Amino acid sequence: MSTLMTLPTPLEASVNEKSTPSWLDRVRFDDKGLLPVIAQEQETGDVLMMAWMNREALEKTAQTQRAVYFSRSRGKLWFKGEESGHVQVVHSMRLDCDADVLLLTVTQEGHSPSIACHTGRHSCFSWSLDEHHQWVATAPVLKDPEAIYASPTAHNP
């Protein structure tokens, strides 16, 4: 069973931003201070992606109601859509029974149909193992990644 976290309104978040919210203390981050996060599209139920959050990213996500992750390769916060324009509006945050995995329900914005993956596909989970034990793409590229990241549509919340 998961725990539904109610997102604070922006006003509540600004009032509380100076103190550490007690709900953050319940989350079990790993030994690197990270939490695995799954983003699921609210409208379709599609699993869009898996990423990581540190404590700051989780708090900013709750404050802004927009997905903020921690980029392990860059070693910094990653505001989803800051380069691509493919922003995730967060509707709910659900913590698993061990408090060590988070499920976000989101609306993926910035392109129709929605693109969550840096490969230009709807979902990062676009590869299936076939009967010959080969990984095959099961979803089309909706937009060329070079066009996504070369465009001036960067979004910075």
Domain positions in the chain: 3-116
Taking only the tens place, the pLDDT of each residue in 37-65 is: 999 999 999 999 999 999 999 999 999 99
Q: pLDDT value at position 153?
A: 47
The CA distance from 60 to 84, in Å, is 19
The CA distance from 1 to 111, in Å, is 33
| Stated pTM of the model | 0.79
Considering the segment(s) 3-116 as one domain, its CATH architecture is Roll (3.10)
